[in-house]
């Protein structure tokens, strides 16, 4: 057998996350950037293991509409063609958010009608540009505070709470086949924020607003995760007929006392528990991790610690968290 052929056979028989996820009719993905996928080793691990890609930054408004009416989809298009070439689904992220906005929005003074038009133009142009390429969009991201109050944002302050219904309607008009999600963090268990989302989405469904799912970001730390509470909480959304996907999972390690090895083992247990919940719920159709390898994680900068939140280390070696995830997918 030639070396190359041997390699292919080895590769094809290697257990991978996506092979086992597929057997369960689930998808498994990574948030990434166009400049990461240029690295051959990165790209080979990404495409070997995962079948969904979420642009970590490059579909946000600050990137795609830097000036009013001037759209730049260049970097996002690179990710779309990478995904298409490698048979990966794409989650679009995120149309309406309070962060990563262009200056003309942050500093803008417009009437309410103009703000609605700005939102409509942004959503319509962006969703239409990627029509047919993106299977699910995070339409509105992080609209609530932890206490369940609406977060005051440029959209909320200038349009009012109806900006959420409008955003979903505009997205649906632009691509009726895309699944439309509301996405937020610290919502994994029942708490004031997830209750506020539950109330919002119940109202949206009653009003006929086109919403298909809730994205549970699942930025966790090792301590204090209650899996049965998580299951109960996701299930109540699933019972409304919504998808309940895990959209940005990572697990901070520096807060956990112990050696590095103990931290990584404890982290693996949390991965295992969460993936078990996700696999047990028919409404949970995909799990996306917020980066491929530890060095890529936003948490390094955000926490100020060298962080180890993901499934692969910086040499692309599989961490205990990877093995724990794979083992849950195999069950
Ligand atoms: O990980 C993302 C980081 O690279 C960006 O600089 C930042 C601002 O756009 O957004 C980070 O991703 C966030 C995601 O879009 C929404 N949920 C919280 C994520 C971490 O901050």
Q: Is residue 10 part of a domain?
A: no
Q: Is 245 in the pocket of ligand 1 (CB under 6 A)?
A: no
Which residue is closest in CA terms to ligand 1's atom 6? 57
Residue pointed to by tokens 């962060």: 99
| pLDDT tens digit sequence for 115-148 | 999 999 999 999 999 999 999 999 999 999 999 9
Q: Is 297 in the pocket of ligand 1 (CB under 6 A)?
A: no
Q: Are 297 and 309 a contacting pair, CB within 8 Å?
A: yes
Which residue is closest in CA terms to ligand 1's atom 8? 100
DSSP-derived pairing of the beta strands 243-252 and 286-289: parallel
- Per-residue pLDDT at 285 exceeds 80: yes
Confidence of residue 11 (pLDDT cuts 50, 70, 90): low
Backbone dihedral region for residue 142 (phi beyond 0: left; psi -120 to 50: alpha; all else: beta): left
Q: Report the separation in Å between the CA atom of 100 and the middle of ligand 1, taken as the mean of its atom positions.
A: 9
- Per-residue pLDDT at 3 exceeds 90: no
Q: Is residue 180 part of a domain?
A: yes
- Per the model's pLDDT, the better-predicted residue between 268 and 11 turns out to be 268
- Per-residue pLDDT at 1 exceeds 50: no
Atom of ligand 1 nearest to the CA of 298: 1
CA distances from 330 to 20, 266, 326 (A): 6, 20, 6
pLDDT for position 13? 73
Confidence of residue 12 (pLDDT cuts 50, 70, 90): low
Locate 169 and state its tokens: 């309607």
* Whole-angstrom distance, CA of residue 50 vs CA of residue 311: 12
Give, for ligand 1, the residue of 31, 98, 248 to mutate: max count of ligand atoms closer than 8 Å to Cβ: 248
- DSSP annotation of 67: B
- Per-residue pLDDT at 64 exceeds 80: yes
| Torsion on CA atoms 215, 216, 219, 225, rounded to nearest 10 | -170
Q: Report the separation in Å between the CA atom of 291 and the middle of ligand 1, taken as the mean of its atom positions.
A: 11
Percentage of residues of the chain with pLDDT beyond 70 = 96
Which residue is closest in CA terms to ligand 1's atom 13? 56
Confidence of residue 10 (pLDDT cuts 50, 70, 90): very low
Q: Is residue 8 part of a domain?
A: no
Which residue is closest in CA terms to ligand 1's atom 10? 57
Q: What is the CATH number of the domain that holds 137?
A: 3.20.20.80
Residue pointed to by tokens 């047919």: 132
Q: Is residue 4 part of a domain?
A: no
248 assigned to active site: yes
Q: Is residue 2 part of a domain?
A: no
Which residue is closest in CA terms to ligand 1's atom 20? 298
Q: Report the separation in Å between the CA atom of 116 and the middle of ligand 1, taken as the mean of its atom positions.
A: 25
Q: Report the separation in Å between the CA atom of 298 and the middle of ligand 1, taken as the mean of its atom positions.
A: 7
Q: Is 99 in the pocket of ligand 1 (CB under 6 A)?
A: yes
Atom of ligand 1 nearest to the CA of 60: 9
Q: What is the mean pLDDT of the chain?
A: 96
* Whole-angstrom distance, CA of residue 215 vs CA of residue 53: 15
Q: Report the separation in Å between the CA atom of 57 and the middle of ligand 1, taken as the mean of its atom positions.
A: 7
Q: Is residue 168 part of a domain?
A: yes
| pLDDT tens digit sequence for 67-80 | 999 999 999 999 99
Residue of 49, 133, 142, 307 marked catalytic:
142
Over range 19-45, report the average pLDDT.
Answer: 98
pLDDT for position 14? 84
* Whole-angstrom distance, CA of residue 309 vs CA of residue 313: 9
261 assigned to active site: no
Picking from 55, 166, 80, 60, the residue whose alpha carbon sits closest to that of residue 131 is: 80
| Total domains present in the chain | 1
Over range 255-271, report the average pLDDT.
Answer: 97
**Helix, strand and coil in the chain, % to nearest 5:** 45, 15, 35
CA distances from 110 to 26, 77, 159, 291, 300 (A): 43, 30, 10, 37, 37
* Whole-angstrom distance, CA of residue 290 vs CA of residue 29: 9
- Per-residue pLDDT at 7 exceeds 50: no
Cβ-proximal residues to 149 (8 Å cutoff; 6+ apart), any chain: 196
Q: Is 250 in the pocket of ligand 1 (CB under 6 A)?
A: no
Q: Is 300 in the pocket of ligand 1 (CB under 6 A)?
A: no
Over range 255-278, report the average pLDDT.
Answer: 97
Over range 26-33, report the average pLDDT.
Answer: 98
Give residue 222's domain range: 16-330
* Whole-angstrom distance, CA of residue 258 vs CA of residue 316: 24
| pLDDT tens digit sequence for 201-246 | 999 999 999 999 999 999 999 999 999 999 999 999 999 999 999 9
DSSP of 1-21, one letter per residue?
--HHHHHHHHHHHS--HHHHH
Q: Is residue 147 part of a domain?
A: yes
Q: Is residue 34 part of a domain?
A: yes
DSSP of 240-307, one letter per residue?
TT-EEEEEEEEEE-TTS-S-HHHHHHHHHHHHHHHHHHHHH-TT--EEEES-SBGGG-HHHHHHSS--
Residue of 56, 188, 248, 307 marked catalytic:
248
């Amino acid at each position: 057998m030639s070396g190359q052929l041997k390699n292919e056979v080895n590769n094809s028989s290697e257990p991978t996350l996506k092979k086992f996820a597929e057997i369960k009719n689930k998808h498994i993905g990574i948030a990434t950037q166009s400049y990461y996928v240029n690295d051959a080793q990165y790209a080979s691990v990404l495409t070997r293991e995962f079948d969904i890609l979420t642009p970590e930054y490059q579909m946000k408004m600050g990137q795609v509409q830097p000036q009013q009416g001037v759209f730049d989809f260049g970097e996002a298009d690179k990710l779309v063609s990478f995904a298409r070439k490698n048979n990966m689904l794409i989650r679009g992220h995120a149309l309406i958010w309070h962060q990563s906005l262009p200056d003309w929005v942050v500093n803008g003074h417009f009437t309410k009608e103009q703000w609605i038009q700005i939102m409509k133009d942004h959503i319509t142009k962006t969703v239409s540009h990627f029509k047919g390429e993106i299977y699910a969009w995070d339409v509105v991201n992080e609209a609530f505070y932890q206490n369940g109050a609406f977060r005051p944002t440029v959209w909320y302050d200038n349009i009012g709470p109806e900006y959420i219904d409008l955003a979903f309607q505009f997205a649906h008009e632009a691509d009726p086949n895309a699944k439309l999600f509301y996405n937020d963090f610290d919502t994994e268990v029942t708490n004031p924020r997830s209750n506020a989302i539950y109330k919002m989405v119940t109202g949206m469904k009653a009003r006929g607003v086109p919403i298909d799912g809730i994205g549970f970001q699942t930025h966790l730390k090792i301590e204090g995760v209650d899996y049965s509470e998580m299951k109960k909480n996701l299930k109540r959304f699933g019972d409304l007929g919504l998808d309940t996907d895990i959209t940005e999972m990572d697990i901070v390690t520096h807060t956990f006392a112990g050696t590095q090895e103990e931290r990584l083992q404890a982290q693996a247990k949390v991965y295992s528990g969460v993936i078990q919940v996700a696999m047990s719920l028919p409404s949970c159709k995909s799990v996306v991790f917020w980066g491929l390898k530890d060095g890529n994680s936003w948490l390094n900068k955000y926490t100020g610690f060298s962080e180890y939140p993901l499934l692969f280390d910086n040499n692309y070696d599989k961490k205990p968290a990877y093995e724990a995830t794979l083992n849950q997918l195999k069950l």
